[in-house]
Amino acid sequence: MDKESIIELLESKYSELITWLENHPDEKWTEGPEGKWTAGQQALHLLQSIKPLNNALSLPKFFLKYRFGKANRPVREYDAIVNRYHERLEQSKGKTFKRSQNMKIPNLADKHYIVNRLQTENKKLQYKTKKISDKNLDNVVLPHPLMGKMPVRELIMWTAYHVEHHLNTLKNNYI
């Protein structure tokens, strides 16, 4: 997937998420299905997953290569990344990312902030995707808590899918 396609995918997935969150009744922000995250926790989790990526992409690429190494395989296609994610989710039996474990329930006053931060972080990621070279997109790797080390291009594509994954959960279970 080329950079422009990835940027369009990010824009599409985040726009759909933001629209859903803004239109979801405020009184349901702190509710969720029994034993599952609230709508607010779902949004906070997505924010917690994009911020470290943006922070990492702000670092010099030579540092990232030194710290995490370089890719030792070709970049996977979007569908292959999605399939691998589902395999890993199944293997993990619902284990969540460290910062998302025992997550506090964001109150309604946090909703506007979280939605705005999601929009801002998405725009940052789009900008960083546009500016990074294709060589670095394919060769620089970053760690993913569930998927292991991934080339940056794959990690950005996964980020777009991650939003879709959680949005589908919200649409299907948070009425």
In a domain, 34, yes or no: no
In sequence order, the β-bridge partners of residue 150 are 142
Does the residue 30 lie in any domain?
no
pLDDT at position 97 is 65
The pLDDT score that the predictor gives to residue 37 is: 93
Tokens of 1: 């997937």
User: Is residue 118 a part of any domain in this protein?
Assistant: yes
Asked whether residue 35 is domain-assigned, the answer is no
pLDDT recorded at residue 94: 65
Query: What DSSP state is assigned to residue 77?
Result: P
162 found inside a domain? yes
Helix extents (H) in the chain? 3-23, 39-57, 61-68, 78-92, 108-131, 134-139, 152-173
Question: Please, is 140 exposed, middle or buried when counting C-beta atoms within 10 Å of its C-beta (0-12, 13-18, 19+)?
Answer: buried
Work out how many domains the chain is built from and give that number.
Answer: 1
**CATH assignment of the domain containing 9:** 1.20.120
Full domain range(s) for residue 101: 3-19+41-173
Give every residue of the chain whose pLDDT is below 50, as ranges. none
Cα 50 to Cα 140: distance, rounded to the nearest angstrom: 17
Residue 52 belongs to some domain of the structure: yes
Q: pLDDT value at position 175?
A: 78
